[in-house]
């Protein structure tokens, strides 16, 4: 049996709601505060207060931040992602807490980098880099560790519509970071008729990075439950995240089925595009939210050598992917069809090779090292890339 938590996100999700739900379910708040203390930060005070949300008794995380770190006009300090990652890596945190918090912030940096066309290390984190968001991420990871949770699952995530005001200005609701996180995790959503920002990047990142399944509550023996409240108390629905903690059967590799997940295959044939532009197009398609993108050599009419540029994407990224395909290649036409894909469940881990941290993707049948991490380590250590990849994947297979 595997210690498991299932989060019910029918009203949306935010980092402070997840944290409060876990404490309400029995996580030791002192363990959370010890993790915060290890960060060496000051200028804040935190309490957990019992509240009612549409008649549901719940716990509210109240973190008060001293100015100028936080105010109601989104005037947060712009912390670079590298600074936040270094802060967590240098803290004296339990290894699982640090690893999970780092994984969450790496994903946030990757998403923000893709949105702004920047290297993830150079991204300036606005709301998600503010002190309260850092406390939420580290606090949730510490609470999960205190409860002994080994598996995180979650329901479809509620989102609103319209626009919301952010540090970048007025953006669509849900905001781009949230939609990219959802796409990367193949997570499902449920729409709510409200212009409130129901789900924040911090909350969605915690779920999609730490969680391995999105859907109904798994078969489990329930040990505890808790409710974490959002700040708002809208009429007609409880603004809470519910955490249900217990034990579930160990996850087995899913059997192949005949349904799969539908997605769009977009393609364009081009015979006048250079190799440099094709390579850039692939990068741009992935940054636009495509699951995958590739180029296939073909022969067109009159025996002309040419290429087919292909991309797989979900509904949420369809229009942006189509536009990138047109803009980058200059094609006069794009075709699309609906195909099905069977993504395998996987989790992210990290190992160290001679002092260099390398991220891994681990599924039921293989361990794969992150190429960019291994490349940097190989260059620093003066080792062949294949040797660093092999060592990292061997370490990952031993966990």
Rounded to 5°, the CA angle 201-343-294 comes to 90
Mean pLDDT of the 377-397 span:
90
Of 22-26, 38-42, 366-370, 395-399, where does mean pLDDT reach its minimum?
395-399
229 Rama sector, left if φ>0, alpha if ψ -120 to 50, beta otherwise = beta
Cis before 174? omega within 30? yes
Kindly indicate the confidence band of residue 75, based on its pLDDT and cuts at 50, 70 and 90. Answer: very low
Give percent of the chain above pLDDT 70: 91
* pLDDT for position 148: 94
162 pLDDT tier (thresholds 50, 70, 90): very high
pLDDT in tens, 249-285: 754 444 445 556 778 899 999 999 999 999 999 999 9
Q: For 301-345, how does the pLDDT look when each residue is reduced to its tens digit (9 = 90+)?
A: 888 999 999 999 887 778 889 999 999 999 999 998 888 887 766
Residue 10 pLDDT: 94
Instruction: State mean pLDDT over 285-313.
Output: 92
Least confident of 18-27, 242-251, 298-307: 242-251
Spell out the residues 6+ positions from residue 223 whose beta carbon is closer than 8 angstroms to its own: 245, 246, 247
Tell me the backbone φ, ψ of residue 332, rounded to 5 degrees: -90, 0
**Phi, psi angle pair for 10, to nearest 5°:** -70, -15
Taking the CA atoms of residue 7, residue 12, residue 16 and residue 17 in that order, the dihedral angle to the nearest 10 degrees is -50
pLDDT of residue 253: 43
Strand partners, 360: 349, 369
In the Cβ-directed half-sphere of 135, how many Cα atoms lie within 13 Å? 26
Contact 45, 254 (CB under 8 A): no
Buried/exposed 317-338: b ≥16 CB within 10 Å, e otherwise: bbebbbebbeebbebeebeeee
Whether the predicted pLDDT of 179 surpasses 50: yes
What span, in angstroms and rounded, lies between the C-alpha atoms of 61 and 46? Answer: 7
**Better-scored residue on pLDDT, 347 or 340:** 340
Mean per-residue pLDDT over the chain, rounded: 87
Report pLDDT digits (tens) over 77-100: 568 888 899 999 999 999 899 999
- Distance between start and end Cα atoms, the chain: 18
E strand residue ranges, the chain: 2-8, 44-53, 56-65, 79-80, 124-125, 151-154, 157-159, 163-166, 169-172, 189-191, 211-214, 220-229, 240-248, 261-270, 292-299, 305-313, 335-341, 346-353, 356-363, 367-369
Distance CA 214, CA 188 (A): 7
H or E segment and range at residue 336: strand 335-341
Cβ atoms of residues 150 and 100 within 8 Å = no
In this prediction, residue 73 carries a pLDDT of 42
Position 116 pLDDT exceeds 80? no
CA distance readout (Å), 58 to 97, 149, 286: 25, 21, 40
pLDDT score of 149 more than 50? yes
pTM over 0.85? The answer is no
Q: At what angle do helices 131-147 and 29-38 cross, to 10 degrees?
A: 130
CB atoms within 10 A of CB 96: 14
146 CB-side CA count, 13 A: 22
Whether the CB-CB separation of 16 and 132 falls below 8 Å is answered with yes
Alpha helical stretches, state H, 250-347: 275-287, 315-329
Please name which of 25, 8, 157, 31 lies closest in space to residue 96, comparing C-alpha atoms. 31
């Amino acid at each position: 049996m595997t210690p498991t938590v299932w989060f019910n996100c029918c009203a949306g999700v935010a980092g402070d709601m997840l944290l409060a739900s876990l404490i309400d379910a029995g996580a030791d708040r002192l363990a959370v505060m010890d993790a915060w203390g290890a960060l060496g930060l000051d200028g804040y005070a935190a309490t957990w207060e019992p509240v009612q949300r549409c008649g549901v008794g719940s716990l509210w995380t109240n973190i008060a931040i001293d100015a100028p770190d936080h105010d109601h006009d989104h005037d947060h300090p712009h912390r670079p992602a590298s600074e936040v990652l270094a802060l967590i890596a240098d803290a004296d945190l339990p290894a699982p807490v640090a690893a999970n918090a780092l994984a969450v912030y790496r994903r946030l940096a990757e998403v923000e980098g893709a949105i702004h066309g920047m290297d993830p290390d150079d991204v300036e984190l606005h709301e998600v880099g503010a002190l309260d968001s850092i406390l939420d991420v580290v606090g949730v990871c510490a609470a999960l560790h205190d409860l002994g949770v080994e598996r995180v699952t979650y329901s479809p995530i509620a989102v609103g519509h319209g626009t919301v005001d952010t540090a970048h200005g007025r953006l669509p609701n849900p905001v781009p970071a949230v939609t990219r996180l959802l796409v990367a995790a193949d997570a499902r959503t449920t729409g709510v008729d409200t212009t409130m920002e129901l789900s924040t990047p911090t909350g969605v990142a915690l779920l999609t990075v730490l969680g391995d399944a999105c859907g109904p509550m798994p078969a489990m023996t329930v040990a505890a439950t808790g409710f974490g409240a959002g700040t708002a108390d809208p009429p007609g629905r409880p603004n809470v995240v519910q955490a249900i903690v217990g034990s579930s059967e160990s996850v087995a590799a899913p059997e192949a089925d005949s349904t799969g997940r539908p997605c769009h295959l977009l393609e364009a044939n081009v015979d006048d595009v250079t190799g440099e532009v094709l390579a850039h197009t692939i990068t741009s398609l992935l940054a636009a939210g495509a699951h995958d993108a590739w180029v296939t050599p073909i022969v067109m009419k009159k025996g002309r050598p040419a290429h087919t540029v292909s991309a797989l994407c979900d509904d949420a990224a369809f229009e942006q992917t189509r536009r990138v395909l047109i803009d980058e290649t200059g094609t006069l036409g794009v075709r699309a069809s609906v195909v099905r894909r069977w993504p395998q469940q996987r989790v992210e881990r990290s190992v160290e090779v001679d002092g260099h941290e390398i991220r891994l993707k681990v599924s039921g049948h293989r361990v794969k090292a992150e190429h960019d991490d291994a490349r940097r380590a190989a260059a620093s250590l003066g080792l062949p890339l294949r040797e660093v990849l092999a060592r990292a994947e061997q370490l990952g297979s031993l966990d």
